[in-house]
Structure 1
Amino acid sequence: MNEIIPIGPVSPLRQRLIEDMTMRRFSPETQRNYLRDVGRFATWLGRSPHTATAEDVRRFQIEQREAGVPAPTMNSIVAALRFFFMHALDRPELARKLVRTAHARKIPVVLTQPEVKRLLDATTCLKHQAALSVAYGAGLRVGEVSALKVRDIDSKRMLLRIERGKGGRYRNAMLPEGLLVLLRDWWRAGRQQGVLHADGWLFPGQSATLPISTRQLHRVVVQAAEAADIAKRVGPHTLRHSFATHLLEDGVDIRVIQALLGHAKLGTTAFYTQVATKTMRAVVSPLDRLALAGPDKEAPSG
């Protein structure tokens, strides 16, 4: 019987993996993904993962690639297995056998500012409008929006405290004045509805004891885009992409944007230069400069 399976009784090995992730403050979504991906390997292996060999790890990667598993999915599996082998099993020699797959990164879909406004205006309730406004106005990941608590709003310093960022990292995100006004409106409405509490989730789900799910936020964005007659394929991350691109087009330093997004590497942020069309339009081509300069005058002969 496999030691780690995403369903059924919690085995000692599965429990160890959960404890290791919890100790490092991995978000609930990351924990679910890691458990799913390790479970995938365990199902393929057909026996307890602690008996895996280097050849098993090699064959698993080869067969997944031959089965057509996309590179981003395979890289997520590699990240999960590396953590599992390094920490839950204490077998770093297996972690070293895992290989990330190089792949071309797709240019993200970005909304124009008028499209963002139409999308936000098309939401069906104040909670949804506030949640999507946080994603765009502060550039948060969907999991970060879901994990926000009321106490994470620092109105004195005009910051949002992100305690469950990617990789469990802490950071501060910006809190624009307009967003604070909207959040205060939502606070008053949520208190009247009895779903918001000082120590609770900023955006509760169907039960006030649980946060709104990332899946629900995705549905909200898709429905709002349809209602706003936006033909582009969008999701919650589209708002984060749009946040970064619009800042870049407005001339904000790319290192500042890196800090606001919580990117570990500048190269990740620099990718938005490929979609910052306003920035590209502002550049004068050398060909146009030739036309502006006019033909060179010939020196007089003598």
Structure 2
Amino acid sequence: MIKFRYSPEDNRFYLRFHFSKTLVSIAKSIPKGCYHSIDQCWSYPNDPIIIKQVLHAFAVHDIRILPKEIPKQCGILDDFFKATRERNFSFRTTKTYYSNIIQLLAFTEKLPVNVKTSDLDKYLDHLVTERGVKAASVRSARQAFIFYFREVRQQFTQLKFPRMMIGSKLPEVLSAEETSSIFNALPNRKHKMLLLISYSSGLRVSEVIHLKITDIDLKRNMVRVGQGKGKKDRYTILASSLIEELKEYLKVREYNLLLKHSYNEVRANPWLFPGSGSRPLHIRTAEAIFTNAAKKANIGKKVSFHSLRHAFATHLLELGTDLRMIQTLLGHASVRTTQIYTKVARSRLENIVSPLDRIPSAKENTKLLPDK
């Protein structure tokens, strides 16, 4: 086995392998190499150009590496990033696929070209048996491998995995009273408005933090969601009862920004919920705001920021809103995704009559039965 490892002590990469005239010849051909007779290994400077030559020369001999040690300039996944750009993948999809692929390479200690289908199987089995990863995460890893090894590299042209059964879990839905108590637990106007708009419009956390002031149409009571999940634009509703409070928030927002920035900088800041510098509010900050508010409101259910979106959809359904319209407002590609809310909408369940209630004689007979 050929191992290529980085040594921080002298900032060099060390190449070790059992003696072979062919491998020695290759090692000698790479510039700036140094042979260490005592350790019987070769070393090379931490230079991306040199390292790239080593990887290219020994790839055919199944060289073993630690991906995190290899400089990014070596571009061992350049083909992956090029493919995601060409297909206009979202940042989140690219990040998720990359994470799965780089973890596979770390597990196998191989370059992509040396990965085999058996390595994929072993890694996926490791996720389930050793790490206890959820089925949805395993499916995500599978999709990443199919995309990269089958579509991009065409390394395994027939790659596919057996169908995976994924359990269907219903979300814990906040009642109208619980939702209101969460809002009332927030004294900070900005934090309260963040959650109010999320619930009012059914927005994902990533969507609400990236709202711009120009996305809010106060005349039409509409919110424009630019490049939501799946890189799709859509419009959703804005509660008319929120208009005046939102106008007041915009005044407070501008005042608070003027305390830290110049007038021109404030005018140039487009974000409805500004964060540090010229960036929008960080997603982790938004999630922490919700978590703290739910805790203050003594919400016992297992909820997250996304629960506001679940509540929006469920409460609309309970009010009799058409399922297709809810699908449009949420930006779901398929109505099947929206149908989950029919299983948790309280009004729909309450209106169902048990068949036992339709058989009065059965209830009467039950009362007449003697105790044993």
- TM-score w.r.t. the length of structure 1 is 0.83
Instruction: Give the C-alpha shift of residue 95 in structure 1.
Output: 8.0
Please, which of 29, 33, 47 is the counterpart of residue 96 of structure 2? 33
Instruction: Give the C-alpha shift of residue 86 in structure 1.
Output: 5.7
The question of whether the paired residues in 2 share the 8 Å contact of 1:163 and 1:170 is answered with yes
User: Are residues 1:71 and 2:140 paired?
Assistant: no
The question of whether the paired residues in 1 share the 8 Å contact of 2:66 and 2:106 is answered with no
Q: Which residue of 2 aligns with 1:299?
A: none
Instruction: Give the C-alpha shift of residue 31 in structure 1.
Output: 3.8
Letter matched to residue 161 of structure 1: R
Please, which of 56, 70, 76 is the counterpart of residue 119 of structure 2? 56
User: 2:272 aligns to what SS in structure 1?
Assistant: coil
In structure 2, the CA distance between the partners of 1:122 and 1:256, relative to structure 1 (3 Å rule), is same
Letter matched to residue 58 of structure 1: D
Please, which of 143, 146, 165 is the counterpart of residue 209 of structure 2? 146
Instruction: Give the C-alpha shift of residue 256 in structure 1.
Output: 1.1
Question: Does 35-44 or 256-265 show the bigger shift?
Answer: 35-44
Q: Highest CA radius of gyration, 1 or 2?
A: 2
5+ residue gaps, structure 2, are: 5-64, 259-265, 365-372
Q: Deviations over 1:65-119 (max 9, x none)?
A: 22221112212323333443466x3428468424563221211111110110110
| Pairs within 5 Å for 1:26-175 | 26-67=89-130, 68-85=132-149, 89-91=152-154, 93=156, 96-98=159-161, 101-175=164-238
Letter matched to residue 229 of structure 2: K
Q: Deviations over 1:16-71 (max 9, x none)?
A: 54455456555544443333222212211212224323332233222222222111
In structure 2, the CA distance between the partners of 1:58 and 1:254, relative to structure 1 (3 Å rule), is same
Q: Which residue of 2 aligns with 1:234?
A: 303
Letter matched to residue 71 of structure 1: A
Identity %: 33
1:192, 1:25 → 2: CA distance?
38
1:241, 1:18 → 2: CA distance?
34
1:10, 1:186 → 2: CA distance?
46
User: Are residues 1:254 and 2:317 paired?
Assistant: no
Question: Does 143-152 or 110-119 show the bigger shift?
Answer: 143-152
Q: Which residue of 2 aligns with 1:300?
A: none
Q: Deviations over 1:213-256 (max 9, x none)?
A: 22222211110011112111211111111111111111111111
Please, which of 204, 218, 223 is the counterpart of residue 287 of structure 2? 218
Letter matched to residue 233 of structure 1: K
Q: Deviations over 1:169-201 (max 9, x none)?
A: 222222222334333222211111117646522
5+ residue gaps, structure 1, are: 296-302
Letter matched to residue 345 of structure 2: A
Higher relative contact order (CA 8 A, sep 6+): 1
Q: Which residue of 1 aligns with 2:339?
A: 270
Letter matched to residue 194 of structure 1: L
Letter matched to residue 33 of structure 1: T
The question of whether the paired residues in 1 share the 8 Å contact of 2:216 and 2:222 is answered with yes
The question of whether the paired residues in 2 share the 8 Å contact of 1:5 and 1:36 is answered with no
- TM-score w.r.t. the length of structure 2 is 0.69
User: 1:164 aligns to what SS in structure 2?
Assistant: coil
User: Are residues 1:187 and 2:250 paired?
Assistant: yes
In structure 2, the CA distance between the partners of 1:242 and 1:100, relative to structure 1 (3 Å rule), is farther
User: 2:138 aligns to what SS in structure 1?
Assistant: helix
The question of whether the paired residues in 2 share the 8 Å contact of 1:58 and 1:97 is answered with no
In structure 2, the CA distance between the partners of 1:192 and 1:255, relative to structure 1 (3 Å rule), is same
1:83, 1:187 → 2: CA distance?
44
- For the aligned residue pairs, the C-alpha RMSD in angstroms reads 3.0
Please, which of 249, 252, 271 is the counterpart of residue 201 of structure 1? 271
The question of whether the paired residues in 2 share the 8 Å contact of 1:257 and 1:269 is answered with yes
Which is strand-richer, 1 or 2?
Answer: 2
1:109, 1:95 → 2: CA distance?
40
2:245, 2:228 → 1: CA distance?
23
Instruction: Give the C-alpha shift of residue 163 in structure 1.
Output: 2.0
The question of whether the paired residues in 2 share the 8 Å contact of 1:151 and 1:199 is answered with no
